[in-house]
Amino acid sequence: NRLLHVKLSPTRNQAITEMFLAELRDKHLVDDALFLVDSAPWLQAALHRHGLDYRYEKHGNRNSVERVFRELKRRTNQFSNCFSHAEADTVENWLQAFAFAWNQLI
């Protein structure tokens, strides 16, 4: 459950997802990876456009991924409550530090 790449974005859509995937591919060899996804159409479209394999899973193996995101959301909600007027750069720096710390602890 290592976080390979994290990035702050103002919204979710196919263009942002494609940029995220391009950055992920620059940093890591993920061409042979199988991405477990939910029903987000922009995610599936971006993965398809990048030629990456994915499988829709409503439950099952995706649950371990969801646990990581649940923890990330819990911590970012706390961050939002404490630093509601923070600049985007500050939040991005915090997110990068969180990912680094998370990867050190697992």
Provide CB contacts within 8 A for 92, sequence distance 6+: 7, 8
Same domain, 35 and 47: yes
Residue 96 lies in a domain: yes
Provide the domain limits for residue 106: 62-106
Phi then psi for residue 58, to 5 deg, are -80, -35
Query: From CA 32, how far away is CA 61, in angstroms rounded?
Result: 18
Indicate if the pLDDT at residue 87 is higher than 80.
yes
| Token pair listed for 68 | 């990581």
Predicted structure pTM score: 0.78
Residue 3 lies in a domain: no
Q: Into how many domains does the chain fold?
A: 2
Q: Residue 85: its pLDDT value, please?
A: 78
Provide CB contacts within 8 A for 101, sequence distance 6+: none
Beta bridge partners of 53: 34
pLDDT in tens, 22-65: 999 999 999 999 988 888 899 999 999 999 999 887 766 666 76
Same domain, 17 and 50: yes
Residue 23 lies in a domain: yes
Same domain, 34 and 46: yes
